[in-house]
A and B are shown apart, each in its own frame.
Chain A
């Protein structure tokens, strides 16, 4: 186990190094930091002198190691637009995005387990077929279209729920703005979370159904039935437990994917999160912010994947750790 852990952590570090290299390459080639500092009206001589002072004429390797050293200390440059450290700008937007992901996760967990279990237990029931039919339609609708449809129905036509922004947020734990403290906040987060959940929910219903159907064929479930244990105890205690392992693995990886989809929902609902900020940064060619976003998001992906892999290795006794680490 220890060897596996060490190898997995080394792989994560290697991937982060590659991401930082990409980030540095972007920073090196996109935009001109000098122009952002002093504008156009400075003579060429002063420009060269400044370039020397800022270390922009150093070798690639020296510049990269300086970039890496700063990044390790949490300094990812200063945003051209906000005139603040890029990491601070992102961390201020992070709660909005994470709460969106949290809301969507709650919806997915709350609905996918009962629906998946039901369709597995009664595969031929009318309701099961309906659920499976709706799920394939759900997979086929792009997340931004679901979001637009929801805005059109609930905001424009019915005028029930707000269509943009976060509404009333309450600051908790120092600097975390939460939507879950006021009714207005709940109203604002409902549609974006539903839209975000709509893309993942069908996938999870189908996954739970497939895994559950396989488990229900197994010997120990047949034995439990023969022993006379009540069906619901078999389904929800005995079978579901063994269904959830692969589901959690896939789920962990999908958290990273959800961060990507937040860009789409945040754009449609003008949700002031990281994704919305990233697209604005791209339009303003705010290079430090783009690079910082790349590194923060890359870190989220690498972290979730590594943790999921480690948990999987820890929980599942059939995984051959030696082979996986090879």
Chain B
């Protein structure tokens, strides 16, 4: 993919910039704006402890008397709370920053887990083949036939009922990552397996085998780098889906607790107050969540258009 005339001199950055992908990126305003917004939101989320005027996890800074202040552009607001306050009197802006951090963290970690499981299983199934391959792919079919959300809802509901909400809330973040991570591995496994089957027949794999390299080295060092483009495309979509799943689960009360809210649990706590007119507790985190998922999806779309070899044919 990265083709330059003299790769020895070019830095890695300029190689990316001058590649096909870099060129198509510069020519696509939607992709540029999406990436800018994504980087901006991520940076804000990472810097939350520095930017946020309040610490939503510190009970000393929360006063219930401050609850349900509207954003500053509406009458009856308090100047120190830019986007108003939530039902517990937390500054909404600070809570959103910390919540975005949690949503992104859970989404990215869950996808890393998916990728790790899926790529390993896909490589093994494709490379080893035979009975192991058909067994693993049959498992992938069955896993795929159950909706991730359904599996996650039932798993988290039973876990919550079993451990009680105290313990569950403490470890909610790990449960979320684990269940979203495990439920979606076939997405990667199927694609990786398909590319491995195509790559396995090529001569460079034969030559590596003749050179006496072990199967693990051939799989990871030789075949995997050539399967990366579909992995990238899947990963963007999966991050968007994982963030939506996390928000949905938290909305149902099966995810992050109100004391440590992600975007989903913030929306959920705001939903109870929507009929009394406090729309901002739901709307502002909602808009942020949609924008975050939307830019990731737009980037994914762009990447699929660039990397999908099918399109070059037409």
Contacts and interface: CB of A to CB of B under 8 A. Distances in A.
A15 B150 CA distance: 16
A302 B144 CA distance: 11
Contacts of B267: 144-145, 148
- A interface SS class: helix
B314 interface: yes
A30 B297 contact: no
A260 B134 CA distance: 28
A38 interface: no
Contacts of B314: 217
Q: Chain A, interface size: which category?
A: 35 or more
- The B contact surface, by secondary structure, is helix
A301 interface: yes
* Most chain B CB atoms below 10 A, which of A143, A145, A253, A297: A145
A149 B134 CA distance: 45
B282 interface: yes
Given A148-B286, A253-B145, A136 B298 contact: yes
Interface string A128-152: 0000000011011111110011011
Interface stretch (A73-81, A86-94, A110-118, A278-286): A278-286
A288 interface: no
A143 B297 contact: no
Interface residues of B, number: 38
B248 interface: yes
A231 to B, nearest CB: 21
B184 to A, nearest CB: 13
A224 to B, nearest CB: 20
Nearest to B162: A30
B294 A260 contact: no
Given A144-B251, A267-B252, A151 B274 contact: yes
B271 interface: yes
Contacts of B51: none
B161 interface: yes
Interface in B123-157: 134, 138, 142, 145-147, 149-150, 153-154, 157
A290 B294 contact: no
A144 B269 CA distance: 13
Contacts of B157: 278-279, 282, 290
Given A256-B145, A264-B248, A152 B279 contact: yes
Nearest to A141: B290
A217 B314 CA distance: 9
B244 interface: yes
Q: Which interface residue of B154, B290, B298 has the most chain A CB atoms within 10 A?
A: B154
A263 B271 contact: no
Contact of B150 (A259, A267, A282): A259
Given A256-B145, A278-B157, A140 B150 contact: no
A31 B161 CA distance: 9
Closest 5 CB pairs of A and B: A260-B150, A140-B294, A257-B147, A140-B293, A260-B147
7 contacts: A137-B294, A140-B297, A142-B248, A145-B267, A148-B286, A256-B146, A267-B251
